[in-house]
Amino acid sequence: MAIATPLAWWLTSGRSAFRTAVQAVVALPLVLPPTVLGFYLLIMLGPRGFIGGTLEDMGLHHLAFSFEGILIGSVLYSMPFAVQPLEQAFSNLGRRPIEVAASLGAGAIDRFISVILPMTKSGFIVAMTLTFAHTMGEFGVVLMVGGNIPGVTHVLSTTIYGYTEGMQYAAAGRLSLMLLIFAFIVLFVVYWFNRGFEMIKP
C-alpha cells in the first residue's frame, strides 16, 4: 500500500506517454501467467541476476528461494490489485476537493488525511482486501521464486499442491475449503462495502 498509494496518485494526476507505459507495466501481472513473472524474478534475484548479483557482491545472500524473494514477488504480483482501485478512487475524487482544501489553508499531508483519505475510504478498503486475499491465493510466483522448500518457503497454496501431489486428498481438501470460504467472505465483504463502487474483478 505504501508503494501503491503514491503510484496511483501519480498515475491519476497526468496523462503523458510515460505514465501510460507505467500503467501498463503495473497491470502486466493481470495478463501474464504468474510463472513468467516468477521466472524473470528468479533470474533477477538469483545469484547471477542483476539484483541478486549485486547483493552477493555486497556480501549478502541472494534472494531466490527465500522469504524476502517471495515478499518482493508478491508485492509486484499484487500491485495491480492495489493500484487499480486506488487509481479509480482518486480519479473519481477529481482535483476540486484538494484545491478547495488547499485554498482553506491545508498543507499536503493535512489534505491527504483530512480530505483524500476519508473521501476515498472505500477505494482503500477494496485495495487492501483484494491485495491481501490475492496474495493468499497466489501460486505461480511463489513456486518459481520460493521453490516450495518445506518449512522455508511454504505458503498455503503450495502446501495444497504438495498434499495433492502426495495423494493426501483429505488434507488438501480441508485446506482448499478453508481458502475457498475465506476468499468468498473477503469478496462478499468488499462488495458489500462498495455497492456501486467501480472496481476490477479478480
118 in contact with another protein (CB under 8 A): yes
Shortest separation between residue 117's beta carbon and another protein, angstroms: 10
Which three cell numbers, joined as nine digits, stand for 143?
Answer: 513456486
Pick the closer one to another protein by CB: 104 or 180.
104
Mark the segment that binds another protein (CB under 8 A) among 53-61, 68-76, 92-100, 166-174: 92-100
14 in contact with another protein (CB under 8 A): no
Shortest separation between residue 82's beta carbon and another protein, angstroms: 22
Q: CA distances (Å), 119 to each of 20, 124, 163, 175, in order?
A: 25, 10, 45, 38
Helix or strand run (H / E) with residue 147: none
Size of the residue set binding another protein (CB under 8 A): 17
Mark the segment that binds another protein (CB under 8 A) among 10-18, 43-51, 80-88, 107-115: 107-115
Alpha helices in the chain (DSSP H): 4-12, 17-31, 34-45, 50-57, 67-93, 96-103, 108-111, 117-119, 121-137, 140-141, 156-165, 169-193
Q: Binding string to another protein for residues 35 to 74, with x set by CB under 8 A, is what? A: ----------------------------------------
End-to-end CA distance of the chain: 18
113 in contact with another protein (CB under 8 A): no
CA 177 to chain centre: 23
Pick the closer one to another protein by CB: 119 or 186.
119
- Which residue bears the cell 482544501? 101
196 in contact with another protein (CB under 8 A): no
72 φψ region: left (φ > 0), alpha (ψ -120 to 50), beta (else): alpha
The footprint of another protein (CB under 8 A) covers 96-97, 99-107, 110-111, 114-115, 118-119
